[in-house]
Structure 1
Amino acid sequence: MREYQKYLAQINALQCVGSRPFAMPVSACMDPFSKRRIALFDMNKDHNVVTEEEWVAWFHAAFDEDPQDLDVLKRRLSNAIRFDTKVLDAESRVGRMLDDLMRVLEQDHQEWVLHQEGKIVVEIMTKAIKPEALKTAVQKQLQLQRNKGLKSDVFRYVKWLRQFSAGFQLYVGLDEVMAPAPQTGASKTDSLKSGRGKPDGADKNRGKPDAADKSRGRPDGRQGSRSQPLPA
Structure 2
Amino acid sequence: MENLMGVQQVPLAPMYKGSTERERGEFMDEYLAYSRCVEVLNRGMGGTIFLMPLAACIDQKIVPRVCAHDFGKSFEEITENDWRDYFLSAREVQELDLDSAAKAMASLKMDTKIRDAESRVGRLLADFYDKLEQLDVAHLPEQEPKQSVKILTAAIRPSQLKATVERQLTREANKAY
TM-score normalised per structure 1: 0.55
Q: Over residues 55-78 of structure 1, what are the superposed CA-to-partner deviations in whole Å (9 max), with x where a residue is unaligned?
A: 111101111132221111212333
CA offsets 1:115-135 (integer angstroms, 9 cap, x no match): 453332222112111122322
**Higher RCO (Cα < 8 Å, 6 or more apart):** 2
Q: Which moved more, 1:128-137 or 1:39-48?
A: 128-137
Deviation at 1:12, TM superposition (A): 0.9
CA displacement, residues 14-36 of structure 1 (integer Å, 9 cap, x when unaligned): 11385321121112111122222
Give the equivalent residue in structure 2 for 1:178: none
Cα separation, 2, equivalents of 1:110 and 1:12: 26
Counterpart contact for 1:15–1:21, Cα < 8 Å: yes
The letter for the 1-side match of 2:157 is: K
CA-atom RMSD in angstroms: 2.6
Is 1:11–2:45 an aligned residue pair? no
- Per the TM alignment, residue 109 of structure 1 is displaced from its structure 2 partner at its CA by 5.4
Q: Which residue of 2 aligns with 1:61?
A: 89
Partner residue, 2:121: 94
**TM-score w.r.t. length of structure 2:** 0.69
3-state secondary structure, aligned to 1:103: helix
**Whose radius of gyration is greater, 1 or 2?**
1
The 3 A distance-change label for structure 1 pair 8 and 31 is same
Q: 1:119 to 1:49 in 2, by over 3 A?
A: closer
Letter matched to residue 123 of structure 2: R
Identity of aligned residues (%): 37
**Distance in 2 between the 1:89 and 1:123 partners?**
23
List alignment gaps of at least 5 residues for structure 1.
Answer: 153-232
Structure 2: gaps of 5 or more residues:
1-27
CA 18–10 in structure 1, closer or farther in 2 if over 3 Å, else same:
closer
